[in-house]
A and B are shown apart, each in its own frame.
Chain A
Amino acid sequence: MSDWHVHVFTSTYAADVSGVCSAMYELGGMTVLHDPSGCNSTYTTHDEPRWYDSDSQMFVSGLDELTAVYGDDNVVVDNVTRAAKALNPRFITLCGASIPHIIAFDFKGVARLIEEKTGLPVLPVPTDGLRLYTSGVGLAQRAFLRRFGVHSAEKRKGAVNLLGVTPIDFSRQEIVDAMKEALTARGYTVNACFSMGDSFEKLTKASEAEVNVVVSSAGFLPAKYLQAKYHMPYVVGTPIGKKMGDALSDAISKAMGTGENVSAVSPAEEDSADLLIIGEEVLSKSLARAIALETGERCRVLFPDPDEGIDEDRLLSMIGKARTVIADPLYRPAVETQGATLIPLPHEGYSGRIYRALIPVFCGDGFDISAFLLGGCS
Chain B
Amino acid sequence: MAKVRVRLPLGVTHPHPQRDLECEGATVEDVVKAAIAAEPRLEPRIYKDGKLYVGIFVNDRNMRSLGGFTMPVADGDVIRIVPPIAGG
Do A and B bind? no
Question: Using a CB–CB distance below 8 Å, which chain A residues touch chain B?
Answer: none
